[in-house]
């Protein structure tokens, strides 16, 4: 093959290689964004780049069980009156449950009209993890109250009411906390019982 024929071949090959890289880069960018939930989560299996693994545990942090472990650690910290550690663990639990809920919602939308059984299952998981997220948020708000930081508690309580609806149990509790803090002056429900401002065990 003469040099005149080689030159177009090299140019074509280079263009093809660049085109392949441009197709791969968005996928790689998405994979790299997943572990940024917080520093404990890393991709450590090169053959399975979509698998998230914690650095110090055998079980995935990005799971319902991972969120439950963080909640348990937060409860232990509250029992020891280590509110700074409790707040850290509860914030991490919120992030885990929130990301799980978003992922399950995306799966639900993807399977809608294709497989209703799978779609309904993912929808239920999305609701379950959203509920756990709101429960972690409520506990975090109580920890902030225990630390005398109402300015941090109030936005969290309002998020809960928006997510839950004021008529649901957790929404009522969140509003009661706002009432106790003096952020609102109208009780709701009018004959509802008050909730404790101490983090629950």
Instruction: Name, in order, each residue with C-beta under 8 angstroms of 182's C-beta and a sequence gap of 6 or more.
Output: none
| Average of per-residue pLDDT across 137-148 | 96
**Per-residue pLDDT, 17:** 38
**Per-residue pLDDT, 62:** 85
| Average of per-residue pLDDT across 127-136 | 95
Confidence of residue 190 (pLDDT cuts 50, 70, 90): confident
**Per-residue pLDDT, 191:** 66
Q: Among residues 99, 102, 70, 101, which one has the least CA distance to residue 87?
A: 70
| Average of per-residue pLDDT across 118-137 | 95
| Average of per-residue pLDDT across 134-141 | 97
| Average of per-residue pLDDT across 77-104 | 95
| Average of per-residue pLDDT across 120-133 | 95
User: Contact, 140 vs 170, CB < 8 A?
Assistant: no
Neighbours of 60 (CB within 10 A): 14
Please give the Cα distance from 178 to 182 (Å, whole number).
Answer: 6
Please tell me what DSSP assigns to residue 165. Answer: -
Whether residue 26 has pLDDT greater than 90 = no
């Amino acid at each position: 093959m003469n040099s005149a024929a080689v030159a177009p071949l090299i140019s074509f090959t280079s263009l093809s290689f660049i085109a392949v890289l441009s197709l791969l880069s968005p996928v790689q960018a998405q994979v790299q964004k997943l572990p940024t939930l917080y520093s404990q989560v890393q991709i450590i299996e090169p053959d399975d780049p979509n698998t998230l693994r914690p650095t110090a545990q055998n079980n995935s942090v990005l799971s319902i069980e991972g969120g439950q472990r963080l909640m348990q650690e937060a409860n232990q910290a509250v029992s020891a009156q280590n509110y700074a550690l409790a707040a850290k663990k509860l914030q991490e639990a919120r992030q885990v449950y929130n990301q799980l809920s978003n992922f399950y919602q995306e799966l639900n939308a993807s399977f809608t009209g294709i497989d209703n059984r799978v779609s309904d299952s993912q929808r239920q998981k999305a609701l379950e993890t959203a509920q756990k997220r709101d429960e972690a948020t409520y506990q975090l708000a109580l920890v902030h109250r225990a630390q005398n930081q109402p300015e941090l508690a109030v936005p969290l309580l309002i998020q809960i009411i928006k997510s839950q609806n004021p008529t649901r149990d957790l929404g009522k509790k969140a509003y009661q906390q706002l009432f106790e803090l003096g952020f609102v002056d109208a009780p709701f429900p009018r004959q509802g019982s008050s909730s404790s401002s101490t983090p629950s065990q």
